[in-house]
């Protein structure tokens, strides 16, 4: 799921007292408060796809989890299977490939399957995992388009399995505080939001992420999801329309996919926010203007070193292992049979926006979302 470039999505790391709002922490605190009522067993997670996000982030994060553990792996590369088995002490019976993946249905060690594959494979393996009786976490972007998201959600509901999307920032203290400030109008009405996310891609020109059929798109699909999310979760609202433009300074490199995209989202009531994504600019910020001042993040969306401020004063929240918090929360949801705060429907909402942005790029006009 990543190139070797140090600024790739999967290795994209931007470099006091926890006074975060009660509302933002509410769901997490509720889950922890109920934890003594849960079964004592840690839930087993199998990672499907052992690219750089699994190797650099999820595998290490699972060494910090309290409610789940790395129980198995699925890979098409035998050498990776050997290396992971040795590094994480994974028994041979919990190692699968894409030909025998269906046999995971018979493995009681594995409760949750985490799909960490190229985007075009997300739908297929989410559905297969649910049909195998496993709960599912699927990496973002959820699928190639909103229609595929619908099919994934339906399949998981039919199998009575929980589905969550890998939106780690919903468990990150700085981003959670942004949600509280914006949604609860702590500083009054939000007047404007501007957000951007991107990196300069200099990786393999033949990588799957540069193939439209495999990735669905370029910087918008990969990095733009974060910018879209930033506006959505700051307001706690869904946009109703979008107008987008794009820039391509390296057309020979980005032959099939978008390079840099700019957009304006319109929300109910008429508020308009601006956002952008890129494979050719290093961006990571969220800026919010409200009646009584401003607040924001920068860097905003990386795996670590997130920083925030309110009216110029720095937020004093800890840096956490975001993926560990994300996976523990989902394990608690499974144990307690409660919905994830980032269910499949959350991924569907983002993909409706992405679909409309691509439509706007083609038409040059405002397009309705959904």
3-state secondary structure 68-135: EEEEEEECCCHHHHHHHHHHHCCCHHHEECCCCHHHHHHCCCCCEEEECCCHHHHHHHHHHHHHCCCE
Contact at 8 Å (CB) between 264 and 274? yes
Residue 16 vs residues 19, 217, 229, 308: alpha-carbon distances, Å: 9, 41, 27, 14
- Residues 239 and 286: their CA atoms lie apart, in Å, by 17
Extended beta strands in 188-250, E state: 190-200, 241-247
70 within 8 A of 88, measured Cβ to Cβ: yes
Element (H, E) at 148: helix 146-158
- Assess whether 98 carries a catalytic annotation: no
Cα–Cα distances (Å) from 163 to 229, 245, 275, 334, 337, in that order, read 18, 33, 28, 10, 12
Catalytic annotation, pick one of 226, 301, 303, 317 = 226
* 317 a catalytic residue: no
360 phi, psi to nearest 5 deg:
-65, -35
Catalytic residue among 123, 128, 134, 140: 140
> Are the beta carbons of 122 and 150 closer than 8 angstroms?
no
Q: Are 201 and 207 in contact (CB under 8 A)?
A: no
Active site residues per annotation:
140, 226
């Amino acid at each position: 799921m990543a190139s070797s470039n140090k600024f790739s999505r999967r290795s994209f790391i931007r470099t006091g007292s926890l006074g975060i709002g009660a509302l933002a922490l509410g769901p997490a605190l509720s889950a922890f408060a109920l934890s003594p009522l849960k079964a004592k067993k840690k839930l087993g997670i199998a990672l499907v796809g052992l690219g750089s996000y699994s190797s650099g982030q999820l595998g290490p994060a699972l060494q910090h989890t309290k409610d789940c553990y790395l129980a198995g792996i699925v890979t098409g590369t035998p050498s990776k299977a050997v290396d992971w088995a040795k590094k994480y002490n994974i028994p041979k019976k919990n190692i699968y490939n894409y030909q025998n993946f269906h046999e995971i249905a018979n493995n009681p060690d594995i409760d949750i399957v985490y799909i960490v594959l190229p985007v075009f494979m997300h739908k297929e393996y989410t559905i297969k995992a649910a049909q195998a009786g496993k709960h599912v976490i699927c990496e973002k972007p959820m699928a190639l388009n909103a229609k595929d998201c619908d099919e994934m959600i339906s399949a998981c509901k039919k199998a009575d399995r929980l589905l969550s999307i890998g939106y780690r920032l919903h468990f990150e203290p700085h981003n959670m505080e942004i949600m509280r400030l914006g949604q609860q109008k702590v500083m009054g009405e939000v007047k404007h939001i501007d957000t951007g996310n991107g990196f300069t891609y200099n990786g393999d020109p033949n990588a799957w992420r540069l193939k439209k059929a495999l990735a669905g798109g370029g910087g918008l699909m990969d990095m733009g999801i974060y910018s879209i999310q930033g506006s959505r979760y700051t307001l706690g609202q869904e946009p109703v329309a979008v107008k987008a433009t794009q820039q391509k300074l390296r057309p020979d490199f980005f032959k099939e996919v978008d390079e840099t995209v700019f957009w304006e989202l319109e929300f109910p009531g008429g508020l308009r926010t601006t956002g952008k994504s890129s494979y050719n600019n290093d961006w990571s910020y969220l800026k919010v203007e409200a009646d009584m001042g401003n607040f924001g993040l920068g860097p905003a969306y990386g795996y670590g070193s997130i920083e925030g401020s309110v009216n110029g004063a720095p937020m004093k929240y800890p840096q956490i292992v975001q993926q560990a918090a994300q996976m523990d929360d989902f394990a608690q949801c499974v144990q307690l049979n409660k919905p994830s705060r980032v269910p499949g429907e959350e991924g569907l909402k983002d993909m409706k926006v992405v679909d409309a942005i691509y439509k706007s790029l083609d038409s040059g006009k405002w397009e309705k979302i959904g």
